[in-house]
């Protein structure tokens, strides 16, 4: 018997990024070489034919020379993968006290937060997916996992109304926001925290927001208005409408009215899952088609905004896929605005440029006893020019204004209604 050892030539990725429902986690094999192992595969060679075998089989050794080739392939070590998950704080199991819900009037009060949950990972399936990725050279793998939230302890009144468990969580990140923008987010979520959406009824973001007044804590901040980005009361409120939308979208609730922002705002990554609003114009609305009422809990943790929907689990399953990006277009040349507020010659970028593109998400909803539904959520973002302030002397500004003829500025009527696209 002749035995040959063959090492397969593989161009392995240095890392594979795991895609969870609400986060990404990188398996860096240079930092964690223990995640990989060499696995032998034996082949019986008969002429030009190679047959996979194990050493436990009986070979016909008395009928000539038998050639066995052994290939070593790189695979994931399942035991070390399990250990890795136990030691990482991103997905490790955490004990959590029940979130208590009580009713006062028609507003729900919360004690605790459900974000201390963890992922129940199908490690056998994940190991198989990772091994396939190693063979194909893939660098991203979607993790087969179920998010487990903290248990819910609702009052008897809320149980009677069908509010008994977490049905969805929406999250968005506002890293880089100014103090004024964060102030507007806080002022806004106070109007939504504890709100109840009765079964069979429609939620309207604008009807709940009602107004953005200084007396309610709102301050001026940048908003998108027509073809400009300028400061008005309530800049940043769209962070809230976007997060409510994400909770409703992942809950599988019917979307009745939603529009994306004019350009791709960095605060709303991944792109295509945003919802712009402005009072007196664009609204965001969804229908509560669950068997019971829904209440929403809003809070900030770090630089993340969360909206938690509590209701009744009716067995529906929701799968979301995207974003699919297409139709890129380059941003226009910057807009130069002369100002006396800067020293002559100094230039400051007040708002960045944004490329234009289209984004598409697919949502699939399965309800027990009903026909499977597939929906496509499309968003179109315009290319947007950067705005640059240039410092000049006062007499230069006056001379420029007197020499220029009046010109019309195109403003979208619907966006000019309130200026809350932020």
**Same domain, yes or no: 325 and 179:** yes
Range of the domain at 66: 2-14+29-76
Domain membership flag for residue 154? no
- Give residue-wise pLDDT tens across range 205-258: 999 999 988 888 888 765 555 555 556 666 789 999 999 999 999 999 999 999
Report the DSSP pairing between strands 165-173 and 67-76. Answer: unpaired
- Domain assignment of residue 122, yes or no: no
- pLDDT score of 316: 92
> Averaged over 160-168, what is the pLDDT?
95
Looking at residue 149, what is its pLDDT? 81
Q: Is 382 part of any domain?
A: yes
Q: Enumerate residues 6+ apart whose C-beta is below 8 A from 241.
A: 205, 275, 276, 277, 284
pLDDT in tens, 179-211: 989 999 999 999 999 999 999 999 999 999 999
Same domain for 302 and 401: yes
Over residues 141-150, mean pLDDT: 86
Which pTM does this prediction carry?
Answer: 0.72
Confidence band for 24, pLDDT divided at 50, 70 and 90: confident
Count: domains in the chain: 2
Q: What is the mean pLDDT of the chain?
A: 83
Residue 113 placed within a domain: no
Q: Does residue 83 lie in a domain region?
A: no
For residue 99, what pLDDT band results from cuts at 50, 70 and 90?
A: very high
In-domain check, residue 344? yes
HSE-CB at 210 with a 13 A cutoff on CA atoms is 8
Comparing 83 with 379, which gets the higher pLDDT?
379
pLDDT in tens, 261-286: 988 888 898 899 999 998 888 999 99
Taking only the tens place, the pLDDT of each residue in 392-411 is 887 765 666 555 544 433 32
Same domain? For 184 and 329 the reply is: yes
**Predicted confidence (pLDDT) at residue 48 exceeds the cutoff of 50:** yes
178 and 58 in a common domain: no
- Do 58 and 182 share a domain, yes or no? no
């Amino acid at each position: 018997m002749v035995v040959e050892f063959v090492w397969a030539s593989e161009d392995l990725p240095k890392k594979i990024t795991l895609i969870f429902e609400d986060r990404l986690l990188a398996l860096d094999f240079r930092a964690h070489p223990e995640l990989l192992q060499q696995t032998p595969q034996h082949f019986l060679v008969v002429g030009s034919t190679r047959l996979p075998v194990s050493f436990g089989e009986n070979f016909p050794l008395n009928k000539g020379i038998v050639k066995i080739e052994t290939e070593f392939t790189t695979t994931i070590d399942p035991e070390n993968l399990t250990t890795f998950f136990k030691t990482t704080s991103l997905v490790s199991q955490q004990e959590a006290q029940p979130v208590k819900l009580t009713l006062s009037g028609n507003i729900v009060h919360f004690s605790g937060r459900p974000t201390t949950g963890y992922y129940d990972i199908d490690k056998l399936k994940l190991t198989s997916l990772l091994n396939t990725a190693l063979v194909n050279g893939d660098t991203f793998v979607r993790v087969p996992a179920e998010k487990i939230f903290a248990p819910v302890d609702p009052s008897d009144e809320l149980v009677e109304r069908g509010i008994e468990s977490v049905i969805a969580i929406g999250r968005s990140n506002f890293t880089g926001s100014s103090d004024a923008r964060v102030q507007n987010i806080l002022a806004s979520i106070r109007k939504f925290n504890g709100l109840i959406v009765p079964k069979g009824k429609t939620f309207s973001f604008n009807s709940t927001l009602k107004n953005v007044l200084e007396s309610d804590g709102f301050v001026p901040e940048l908003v998108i208005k027509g073809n400009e980005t300028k400061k008005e009361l309530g800049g940043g409120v769209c962070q809230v409408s976007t997060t409510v939308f994400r909770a409703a979208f992942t809950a599988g609730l019917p979307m009745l009215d939603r529009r994306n922002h004019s350009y791709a705002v960095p605060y709303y990554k991944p792109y295509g899952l945003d919802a712009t609003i402005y009072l007196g114009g664009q609204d965001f609305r969804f229908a509560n088609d669950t068997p019971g009422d829904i209440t929403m809990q809003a809070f900030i943790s770090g630089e993340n905004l969360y909206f938690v929907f509590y209701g009744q689990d009716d067995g529906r399953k929701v799968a979301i896929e995207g974003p699919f990006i297409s139709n890129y277009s380059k941003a226009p040349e910057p807009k130069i605005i002369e100002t006396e507020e800067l020293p002559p010659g100094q230039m400051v970028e007040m708002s960045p440029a944004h490329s234009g593109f289209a984004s598409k998400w697919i949502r699939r909803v399965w309800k027990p006893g009903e026909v499977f539904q597939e929906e496509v959520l499309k968003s179109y973002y315009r290319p947007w020019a950067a705005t640059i302030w240039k410092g000049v002397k006062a007499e230069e500004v006056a001379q420029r204004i007197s020499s220029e003829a009046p010109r019309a500025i195109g403003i979208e009527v619907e966006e000019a209604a309130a200026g809350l696209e932020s």
